Amino acid sequence: MSEFRRRLRALPDFPDVLPDFDVASAPADPAVLFRQWLEHAISAGVPQPHACSLATADAAGNLSSRMLILKDLDDDGWHFATGRNSRKGRELAENPRAAMNFYWAQLGRQVRVSGTVVELSAQASAADWAARPSADGSANPDWQLYALRPTGVEFFQAQHDRRHIRYSCPFSPVDALPINPGTDDTDTDGSLGGWPAVR
């Protein structure tokens, strides 16, 4: 075994103490469960618990991924923002599908969200740009707020006996999902409205 491989093998995969995850009593709505897990990650002191990787692909299927910050979660889905002329912005224009991955190392928890990406309004995008910590009052017409509308969400809880718990919430085809108009600021319970979730 090479020295490097030995070095990797010696590293712990997960922390000594892991939280419980009882699938039987988990909320059926993945947005509600996601908010619970995010709150838990914040309380546990996970750094940047709102950061996730976002994978996109161009029309030919060439993949790319990068880290992003989650901006919101409502009936439109998981929000993120970036420049329309960035690589990911161009890829999303060609192929509006993406996958997010959140990882909260101290808790041995991962959440995967995959589905279709929609552009949110110019007004919402401008508001997101203006709310950045480094905002200087200038406008950026290239800045775009997007929502990832899931076709599947999977919650993963590591276990020391390696019988890791995976809880999948498949959705109907995206086009069939009900959209709740005008709820962007009024949603407080984290619910995804009538989106079906199956255990």
Ligand X SMILES: Cc1cc2nc3c(=O)[nH]c(=O)nc-3n(C[C@H](O)[C@H](O)[C@H](O)COP(=O)(O)O)c2cc1C
Residue 131 touches ligand X, criterion: CB under 6 A: no
- Minimum Å distance from CB 28 to ligand X? 29
Residue 135 touches ligand X, criterion: CB under 6 A: no
What 3-state class would DSSP assign to 118?
strand
Contact range with ligand X by CB under 6 A, out of 38-46, 74-82, 154-162, 176-184? 74-82
Contact range with ligand X by CB under 6 A, out of 81-89, 117-125, 133-141, 167-175? 81-89
Cβ contacts of 58 within 8 Å, gap of 6 or more: 90, 91, 94, 95
Please give the DSSP secondary-structure letter assigned to residue 109. E
- Minimum Å distance from CB 88 to ligand X? 4
CB 83 within 8 A of CB 24: no
How many CA atoms lie within 13 Å of 171's alpha carbon, on the beta-carbon side?
Answer: 25
Residue 87 touches ligand X, criterion: CB under 6 A: yes
Contact range with ligand X by CB under 6 A, out of 1-9, 27-35, 86-94, 175-183? 86-94
**Partners of residue 99 on adjacent β-strands:** 55, 114
Tokens found for residue 43: 């309380």
Among 8, 51, 122, 127, which residue sits at the site for ligand X (rule: CB under 6 A)? 51
Which residue type, as a one-letter code, is found at position 25?
A: S
Residue with Cβ nearer ligand X (88 or 109)? 88
Give the count of residues interacting with ligand X (CB under 6 A). 13
